[in-house]
Amino acid sequence: MTLPDLTPAQRTEIELLARGKQDKSRTLRELKLPETPQAAHALLLRAGLWPEARTPYADRLGAALQPVTLAVPAFPEEPRLDLTGLQSYAIDDEGNRDPDDAVGLEPLPDGRTRLWVHVADVAALIPPDSPLDLEARARGATLYLPDQTVGMVPDALVAQAGLGLHSTTPALSFSLDLDSDGNADAVDVALTTVRVTRLTYTQAQAALDAGEAPFVALAGLAAQSRALREAEGALTIDLPEVRVKADEAGAVVTPLPKPDMRAVVQECMTLAGWAAAIYADDHELALPFATQDPPHREVRGETLTAHWARRKTLARTRFQPAPGPHAGMGLDLYAQATSPMRRYLDLVVHQQLRAHLTGAEPLSGKAVAARVAQAQMNADATRQAERLSRKHHTLRFVAAQPERVWPAVVVERRGPQATLLIPELAFDVALSSAVPAGQAVQVQLTDVNLPELTVRARVVG
């Protein structure tokens, strides 16, 4: 049977196998090909039935690819603390479409500084066990693919609740009263109304470089906070990051810049998660607390090789309804709380805090544990689909320039095999080589196989 002889029924059968929707194919058997999703994918490419841009990984893993179209209610009329007189900033990557957190500072009369982290009040629109809640739980997280984004919540909800998309916005706000050394004397959580200005990291960095007061002060507080956490064992993992974008015409991989303001915002979000956990623990609220065991060994140094090895020492973060230490963060308790539009367990944190603030009945620890189990399983599928799709399109980018030579670093050795990290791609590849760990090399990447997600590397020069 030649490839052009495939009937529509045979094509459908092969596509179902490639998408992971069935595990057998009579057509592949007759062609004496393995009955695997990868073999089916390869056949569809050779027959010209699928373009190279087509990625089957979300399908195979059961991640939802259709947008949420459920109706979104209006914000309820309820008492809120008016913080519209304070300037706050939602700082994101250029092109970000779901601004769900913002930061601001309030000087206190006694010389302390109040750090505010405002988060979109998504739980006001998604109460527990509502249709929107069940849909978000089934997805676990927003799916970010190089060629599309599939939200955990409806686009209409983002448009309604996103910070900085309207002149004023409802928020769930975390406050930390910080002394001159960066220690938090008090934390609180409140339902608020805020006024937010949206900035890109580039714009915020320019303001910091120009010495504008709120940004300089934010950077100072973030540096103090980071130092305090490092004294408690917090680890720094600094590995290359990239943005992968793709369409039918091709793929582009762009190194992600790391301006100082990115670390400042990340530190503020970490403090908000710590505040959420402290508040919940003080009020005996069950949350999906994030915990992590200490690393199994210490890795010193700031080279790429050291950061690669350090990441491998970290245990996976666990979520549980009771607080516990998070070793990687250097915190005695922590909860992810700043992305309720994008991560379901953040939404559960907001639902629990909102229940306490409004006098509603919070979920029990058992109910939170059940949500953790379901949402984490679904979010894991989403993250895996993202990882495989990024790899697929990175390999498309590589295949389009077969003669290119890539700078790389040997970050690990195991016997005769070396692992090379290519910083411009944030991509690692294994090969047999005697090159020692830590050495910089030049490599060419050849023989890209999209269905198998493989590529060969050879050291040049």
Token pair for 117: 């982290």
Nearest Cα residue to 142 out of 122, 127, 165? 122
338 C-beta neighbours (distance < 10 Å), count: 29
Structure tokens, 226? 């980071």
| Structural domains counted in the chain | 3
Q: What is the pLDDT of residues 352-406, one digit of tens each?
A: 999 999 999 999 999 999 999 999 999 999 999 999 999 999 999 999 999 999 9
Based on the fold, state whether residues 311 and 418 are members of the same structural domain.
no
Quote the CA–CA distance of 87 and 111 in Å, as a whole number: 19
Rounded CA Rg of the chain? 24
User: Which residue carries 């540096």 as its tokens?
Assistant: 223
Q: Which residues contact 119 (CB under 8 A, 6 or more apart)?
A: 100, 101, 102, 163, 171, 172, 173, 174, 272, 337, 338, 340, 350
Span 407-460, pLDDT tens digits: 999 999 999 999 999 999 999 999 998 899 999 999 999 999 999 999 999 999
DSSP state for residue 5 in the 8-state scheme:
G
Instruction: State yes or no: pLDDT of 165 exceeds 90.
Output: yes
428 lies in the same domain as 359: no
pLDDT value at 29 more than 90: yes
Q: What is the pLDDT of residue 142?
A: 96
In contact, 80 and 195? CB cutoff 8 Å:
no
pLDDT of residue 434: 87
pLDDT in tens, 122-160: 999 999 999 999 999 999 999 999 999 999 999 999 999
pLDDT at 6 over 90: no
What number of residues does the chain have? 461
pLDDT over threshold 70, residue 115: yes
Residue 96 is predicted with a pLDDT of: 83
Q: Are 453 and 395 in contact (CB under 8 A)?
A: yes
Give the mean model confidence (pLDDT) for residues 3-30.
91
Are 286 and 433 contained in the same domain? Answer: no
Residue 410 structure tokens: 């040997």
What is the rounded CA–CA span in Å between residue 100 and residue 187?
A: 20
Q: How confident is the model at residue 54 (pLDDT cuts 50, 70, 90)?
A: very high
Question: Do 439 and 372 belong together in one domain?
Answer: no
**294 with 345, same domain?**
yes
Same domain for 91 and 35: no
Helix, strand, coil abundance in the chain, percent, nearest 5: 35, 25, 40
Helix (H) or strand (E) holding 84: none
If you average pLDDT over residues 105-109, what whole number do you get? 95
The answer to the question of residue 71 being in a domain is no
440 in any annotated domain:
yes
| 200: CB partners within 8 A, 6+ apart | 91, 92, 93, 94
Tokens describing residue 269: 């979000």
On whether both 349 and 412 belong to a single domain, the answer is: no
Q: What is the Cα–Cα distance from 98 to 401, expressed in whole angstroms? A: 34
**Domain shared by 171 and 280, yes or no:** yes
CA dihedral 246, 251, 252, 253 (to 10 degrees): 90
Kindly state the DSSP code that residue 292 receives in the 8-state scheme.
B
Residue 323 in contact with residue 282, Cβ under 8 Å?
no
The confidence score (pLDDT) of residue 1 equals 45
Q: Considering only CA atoms, which of 227, 196, 218, 204 is closest in space to residue 90? A: 196
**Average of per-residue pLDDT across 317-338:** 97
pLDDT over 70 (residue 208): yes
d(CA 456, CA 428): 11
Final residue in a domain of this structure, among 341, 366, 394: 394
- Residues 306 and 349 occupy one common structural domain: yes
- For strand 289-291 and strand 318-320, is the pairing parallel, antiparallel, or unpaired? antiparallel
**Which residue, 394, 427, 445, sits at the end of a domain?**
394
End-of-domain residue from the set 394, 410, 443: 394
Torsion of CA 210, 212, 213, 216, to 10 degrees: -40
The mean predicted confidence, pLDDT, of the chain is: 95
CATH of the domain at 456: 2.40.50.140
The pLDDT of residue 255 is 95
Q: Is residue 271 part of a domain?
A: yes
Instruction: Give the 3-state secondary structure of residue 133.
Output: helix
Examine the pLDDT at 98 and tell me if it is beyond 90.
Answer: no
Q: 7 and 146 share a domain?
A: no
Read off the CATH number of the domain in which 33 is found.
1.10.10.10
List the beta bridge partners of residue 294. none
Q: Which one-letter DSSP state was computed for residue 124?
A: G
Do 138 and 155 sit in the same domain of this protein? yes
- Answer whether residue 2 shows pLDDT above 90: no
State the residue range of the domain holding 437: 402-460
Q: Which residues contact 63 (CB under 8 A, 6 or more apart)?
A: 139, 143, 150, 378, 381, 382, 385
The reported pLDDT for the residue numbered 433 is: 87
| Residue 3 reports pLDDT greater than 70 | no
Backbone angles phi, psi at 117, to 5 degrees: -120, 110
In a domain, 268, yes or no: yes
Crossing angle between the packed helical segments 365-399 and 344-358, to the nearest 10 degrees: 150
Please indicate, yes or no, if residue 65 is contained in any of the structural domains.
Answer: no
pLDDT exceeds 80 at position 55: yes
Return the number of other C-beta atoms located less than 10 Å from residue 424's C-beta.
14
- The pLDDT, as a whole number, for residue 97 is 85
Answer yes or no: is 373 within a domain: yes
Measured between its terminal Cα atoms, the distance across the chain in Å is 46
Judged against a pLDDT cut of 90, whether residue 95 lies above it is answered with no
Looking at the domain assignment, is residue 75 inside a domain? no
Query: Are 174 and 39 contained in the same domain?
Result: no
Which tokens hold the place of 38?
Answer: 């990868």
Query: Does residue 281 form part of some domain?
Result: yes
Q: Is the pLDDT of residue 461 over 80?
A: no
